[in-house]
Chain A
């Protein structure tokens, strides 16, 4: 068992108005699973993800990462932000080595070799000396993912990482993510509001609802990989999930 979310509740106060972001959320994520948190904006999916990362605290409830209580951020749980989060003063190579160089586990040469190998694999080798402002949005997110993977993170938490990328690139990034997930056997929690994205990526989709933020349903995705977006099964299942979400409510 990788991640256990137990009875998480959280409320925010804005201008003497209190609203419940999350109410009694329970979720269990197995090792190596790819789970999508799907829901409308305001359902607390990002807040929940940030709590798993240790970037935010709950009012009540606990989160365990492989049996250990989450009390703060850790390199054991990599986080890919919706906004670009590369260090603008470092080139691609130094960005992806940021975590490795902090840990001091290996020598600089070993880190460099590993970084170059990873960048090569995702086709970013030609950009290793480029600075973030010279990269496209999709490339920045790929570099961010590599930066976490190089850190040997067993858990990857992703907060709508591809939402700012155009559709074609988004599809290719999703495909690459699947490749990376399979190769590294990473546990992935992926937040999105895009039904198509959730159906394409997830083993399980956690459908969330707002006011108060809570889990409405957890559905297994019954589709074989690699998934075909045009296939009847894919489209049918997408409709089902949309119904669950309440997109088609009269």
Chain B
């Protein structure tokens, strides 16, 4: 069988939607409150688009994701470069980082509410915690993996330590830093939705949770699909960046 490679990924989603339609509206095998039909979801989506709520919630979620990841990058990239460069400092901090890193970001939510209340700062804090460690660890790794020959070559070409850091270590670590950001963004998206379900009054997570409390499964699915689409868009964007900087 010869199928165009570009068409291949779209076949399964279409099949899934057909099956989904058949077991809901088509054959009425599953009641609405267990699984809404594709048409219910479309109706819910149209309503949410029309009254502007979908856009509001999406923007709110994206704002949190971006604030969290930017804050994490601003802290983790310089710190990672310093820790990757000075082995003693890395060893000095490694235990603390290793202990903090596996704590699920959600576990920080009670403290974030205590410290920042309910709203944007609290959610941003949880997202920051969620992605700061992956960016940090990838950056440290990238700096440490700098080819020793390149550092020595730069030295024999007259580079001082600052040149080495700025013109050799940083460009060499860049692909790792971008990988760290990529992992960070996907964690951030997960954290955002969870944080919104608990400590927020806006955003896609909040939208999903309130819809479930109001027995509106159509809206719940709309929220989930939008989150999935945001995830894909981030992924595509990062692939574009990575194809530019991986040599």
- A interface residue numbers (CB < 8 A to B): 53-55, 72-75, 77-79, 81, 83-85, 87-89, 98-99, 102-103, 131-133, 144, 147-148, 151, 157
A73 touches B149 (CB 8 A): no
Convert B138-178 into 0s and 1s, putting 1 for each residue whose CB lies closer than 8 angstroms to a CB of A. Answer: 00000000000110111111110001000110011010000
B158 touches A151 (CB 8 A): yes
Q: Which residues of A contact B172 (CB under 8 A)?
A: 89
Kindly state whether residue B10 has any CB partner on chain A within 8 Å.
Answer: no
Query: B156: which of A78, A88, A103 is its contact (CB, 8 Å)?
Result: A78
Q: Which residues of A contact B155 (CB under 8 A)?
A: 54-55, 72-73
B247 touches A88 (CB 8 A): yes
B153 touches A75 (CB 8 A): no
A87 touches B168 (CB 8 A): yes
Closest to A77 in B: B156
In the bound assembly, the distance between CA atoms of A98 and B152 in angstroms comes to: 13
Closest to A73 in B: B155
B157 touches A131 (CB 8 A): no
Min CB distance B36 to A, Å, is 50
Closest to A79 in B: B156
Chain B positions 165-193 with a Cβ under 8 Å from a chain A Cβ: 167-168, 171-172, 174
Q: Which residues of B contact A83 (CB under 8 A)?
A: 149
B154 touches A98 (CB 8 A): yes
Given contacts A53-B156, A98-B157, A102-B163, 11 further A-B contacts (CB under 8 A): A54-B155, A55-B155, A55-B156, A73-B156, A75-B157, A75-B158, A78-B156, A81-B149, A98-B154, A132-B247, A147-B157
B150 touches A85 (CB 8 A): yes
Total number of residue pairs linking A and B with CB closer than 8 Å: 60
B153 touches A103 (CB 8 A): no
Min CB distance A22 to B, Å, is 19
In the bound assembly, the distance between CA atoms of A198 and B154 in angstroms comes to: 27
Q: Which residues of A contact B149 (CB under 8 A)?
A: 81, 83-85
B158 touches A74 (CB 8 A): yes
In the bound assembly, the distance between CA atoms of A181 and B245 in angstroms comes to: 37
Q: Which residues of B contact A99 (CB under 8 A)?
A: 157-159
In the bound assembly, the distance between CA atoms of A79 and B156 in angstroms comes to: 6
Closest to B245 in A: A89
Closest to B156 in A: A79
Min CB distance A243 to B, Å, is 35
Q: Which residues of A contact B168 (CB under 8 A)?
A: 87
Closest to B168 in A: A87
Closest to A90 in B: B171
In the bound assembly, the distance between CA atoms of A99 and B158 in angstroms comes to: 6
In the bound assembly, the distance between CA atoms of A78 and B171 in angstroms comes to: 22
Min CB distance A6 to B, Å, is 22
- Most B CB atoms within 10 A — which of A77, A81, A87? A87
Q: Which residues of A contact B152 (CB under 8 A)?
A: 55, 73, 79, 81, 85
CB<8 Å pairs between A and B, sample of 29: A54-B155, A55-B152, A55-B156, A72-B155, A73-B152, A74-B156, A74-B158, A75-B156, A75-B157, A75-B158, A78-B156, A79-B152, A81-B152, A83-B149, A84-B149, A87-B168, A88-B247, A89-B171, A89-B245, A89-B247, A99-B157, A99-B158, A99-B159, A102-B157, A102-B158, A132-B247, A144-B153, A148-B156, A148-B157
In the bound assembly, the distance between CA atoms of A89 and B177 in angstroms comes to: 15
B171 touches A151 (CB 8 A): no
Closest to B159 in A: A102
B150 touches A103 (CB 8 A): no
Min CB distance B87 to A, Å, is 19
Min CB distance A129 to B, Å, is 14
In the bound assembly, the distance between CA atoms of A148 and B153 in angstroms comes to: 9
Closest to A55 in B: B152
Q: Do A85 and B247 form a contact, CB below 8 Å, given A75-B158, A102-B158, A103-B158? A: no
In the bound assembly, the distance between CA atoms of A84 and B149 in angstroms comes to: 8
Closest to B157 in A: A99
Q: Which residues of B contact A84 (CB under 8 A)?
A: 149
Min CB distance A118 to B, Å, is 15
Min CB distance A47 to B, Å, is 14
Closest to A98 in B: B157
Q: Which residues of A contact B156 (CB under 8 A)?
A: 53, 55, 73-75, 77-79, 148, 157
Min CB distance A42 to B, Å, is 21
